[in-house]
């Protein structure tokens, strides 16, 4: 060793200086706040962003299912309008941003004339029975929202192709209905009060309406050829007219001998109160007259004419009620059955497992079908469907609990509790069962989307049919839309969207609960 280097070294305490020379240091105590089991589980659950997002989505859907039926008027809940069935979303408040009940169509000129004619006829006045297409453009009742020519097939104006967006509610146009004489006067009073027309002149039955079906008869108010092209009478002969913004259809309204328009005809009845009148009404205003509101359906209407938003809310509610009931019952039965198996083992476990194996071998679809054929007639489809799920639905939960009990029943803390004289029930439910909660809660939560999916599948296949006039299920809505969804995609889109959100959200939510209630992870996220 070099002695000179040793001599040059300074003492250690002289090479360092104190950061706080005059400050007296004390030992600091690290204090921790104890959290209970459920508080700790909640803390860890909130750290999982995907699970929290899923929980929020589930909460929104549940609030939708709870409050929409509450705030929907009773008259709307049971309102089924066949003329407004299978229609898209429409709101007079949101009309200008595209929630207008519009449907895009490709129409021939003849078909476009037919749509324009409805808006023209709605502007009828006795002083000016008909107006041009351009004059009807801004009519409140014009079903043609926009249109433009896209191609010409080469066979004349009647075969030209036009791309048009049509308000499906206004496109219903006019209808013939039968009313009592006293209601005719009530309609006239409503017209005066609201400055809007319901009653319009009847259409003459002559060569210009020959061959027109009864469903369209009230809308062909203009003179047409046999091919339904609008015509103008020139020197007593019908002449087809080509499309232009200034074209004016020649009316075919019924007039009496004095040339006055005829608004009703007598069809039967014996008194001024009960006499039946055949009248022609603008259905949009007739709907307003009957129900005191315009046809606003934010999610459109279903295949029968019910409000889709109300049917969706009741469908979600019914599906969730079934799923939660099934999950709860299966949780209770499975927990008790699996705990007894796993804790006592031996012959008890052997016998109970063979019973479970027998039940597990019963095909679920066969059970549902048999219950619907026989039990549903006595107890109803809802109870029958519930029994079918409970019959074998708890087997998975029981197997999970059994496995967890076998895993934990010989742990030191369990042996210590037994040594201290704890009863079997206390050991099972106080010491072992909490360790199964993570797996058990996850499996129970995941039962919910499984039940919803199964109900949707069975309803789609026609094996079961839940609901009625005022309520339905998501699966029933899908089943009703199955044969017509290509023409009316909104009927399938909304229930499919909610089912998809529920399936994804419950799976993410269940995974979050599994991690949150796992005792082995307690304190890992401090």
**CA-atom Rg of the chain in angstroms:** 37
Tell me 27's DSSP state: P
- All structural domains of the chain, each given as residue ranges with its CATH number in brackets, are 55-67+306-521 (1.10.3720.10), 90-291 (no CATH)
Task: Mention every residue, 6+ apart, whose C-beta is less than 8 A from residue 506.
Answer: 54, 58, 445, 446, 448, 449
Contact 86, 483 (CB under 8 A): no
Nearest residue to 230 (alpha-carbon basis) of 245, 220, 240: 240
DSSP string across 276-302: EEEEEEEHHHHHHHHHSS---BTT-B-
The Cα 318–Cα 352 span in angstroms is 34
The Cα 202–Cα 196 span in angstroms is 18
The shares of helix, strand and coil residues in the chain, as percent rounded to the nearest 5, are 55, 15, 35
pTM of the model: 0.77
Residue 4 phi, psi (nearest 5): -65, -35
Helix (H) or strand (E) holding 166: strand 161-167
Q: Tens of pLDDT along the chain (526 residues)?
A: 555 555 555 555 555 555 555 656 555 555 556 666 677 777 888 888 999 999 999 999 999 999 998 888 887 888 889 999 999 999 999 998 989 999 998 888 888 889 999 999 999 999 998 899 899 988 999 999 998 887 654 444 445 678 999 999 999 999 999 999 889 999 999 999 999 999 999 999 888 888 787 888 899 999 988 777 888 888 777 887 877 788 888 999 999 999 999 999 988 877 767 789 999 999 999 999 999 999 999 999 988 889 999 999 988 888 888 888 888 898 889 889 988 998 888 898 899 999 999 988 888 888 888 888 888 777 777 788 888 888 888 888 888 888 888 888 888 888 888 888 888 888 888 888 877 776 777 777 878 888 888 888 888 777 777 766 667 888 888 888 888 888 888 888 888 899 889 889 988 888 888 777 765 555 555 5
Phi/psi region, residue 9 (left: phi>0; alpha: psi -120 to 50; beta: rest), is beta
Contact 333, 394 (CB under 8 A): yes
Residue 162 phi, psi (nearest 5): -130, 135
């Amino acid at each position: 060793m070099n002695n000179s280097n040793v001599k040059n070294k300074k003492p250690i305490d002289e090479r360092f200086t104190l950061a706080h020379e005059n400050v007296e240091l004390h030992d600091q105590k690290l204090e921790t706040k104890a959290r209970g089991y459920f508080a700790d589980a909640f803390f860890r659950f909130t750290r999982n962003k995907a699970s929290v997002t899923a929980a929020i989505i589930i909460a929104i859907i549940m609030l939708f299912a709870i409050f929409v039926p509450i705030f929907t008027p009773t008259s709307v809940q049971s309102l089924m309008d066949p003329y407004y069935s299978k229609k898209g979303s429409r709101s007079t408040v949101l009309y200008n941003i595209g929630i207008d009940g519009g449907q895009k169509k490709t129409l021939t000129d003849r078909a476009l004339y037919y749509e324009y004619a409805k808006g023209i006829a709605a502007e009828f006045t006795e002083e000016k029975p008909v107006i041009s297409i351009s004059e009807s453009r801004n009519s409140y009742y014009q079903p043609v929202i926009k249109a433009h020519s896209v191609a010409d097939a080469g066979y004349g104006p009647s075969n030209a192709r036009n791309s048009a967006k049509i308000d499906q509610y206004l496109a219903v146009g006019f209808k013939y209905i039968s009313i009592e004489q006293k209601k005719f006067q009530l309609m006239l009073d409503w017209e005066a009060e609201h400055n809007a027309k319901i009653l319009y002149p009847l259409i003459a039955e002559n060569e210009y309406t020959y061959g027109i079906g009864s469903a369209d008869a009230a809308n062909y108010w203009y003179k047409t050829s046999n091919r339904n092209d609008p015509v103008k009478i020139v020197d007593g002969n019908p002449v087809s007219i080509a499309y232009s913004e200034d074209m004016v259809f020649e009316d075919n309204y019924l007039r009496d001998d004095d040339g006055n328009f005829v608004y009703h005809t007598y069809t039967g009845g014996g008194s001024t109160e009960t006499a039946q009148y055949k009248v022609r009404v603008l259905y949009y205003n007739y709907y307003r007259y009957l129900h005191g509101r315009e046809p606003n359906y934010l999610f459109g209407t279903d295949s029968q004419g019910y409000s889709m938003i109300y049917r969706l809310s009741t469908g979600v509610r019914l599906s969730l009620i079934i799923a939660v009931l099934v999950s709860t019952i299966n949780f209770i039965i499975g927990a008790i059955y699996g705990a007894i198996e796993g804790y006592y083992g031996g012959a008890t476990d052997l016998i109970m497992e063979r019973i479970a194996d027998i039940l597990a071998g019963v095909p679920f679809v066969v059970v549902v079908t048999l219950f619907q054929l026989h039990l549903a007639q006595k107890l109803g489809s809802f109870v029958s469907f519930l029994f079918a799920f409970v019959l074998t639905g708890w087997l998975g939960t029981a197997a999970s609990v059994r496995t967890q009990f076998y895993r934990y029943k010989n742990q030191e803390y369990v042996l210590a509790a037994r040594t201290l004289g704890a009863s079997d029930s206390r050991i099972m439910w106080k010491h072992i069962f909490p360790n199964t909660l993570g797996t058990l809660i996850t499996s129970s939560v995941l039962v919910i989307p499984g039940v919803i999916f199964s109900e949707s599948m069975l309803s789609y296949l026609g094996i079961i049919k839940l609901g009625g006039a005022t309520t339905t299920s998501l699966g029933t809505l899908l089943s009703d839309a199955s044969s017509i969804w290509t023409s009316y995609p909104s009927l399938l889109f909304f229930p499919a969207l909610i089912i998809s959100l529920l399936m994804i959200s419950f799976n993410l939510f269940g995974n979050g609960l599994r991690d949150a209630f796992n005792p082995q992870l307690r304190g890992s996220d401090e």
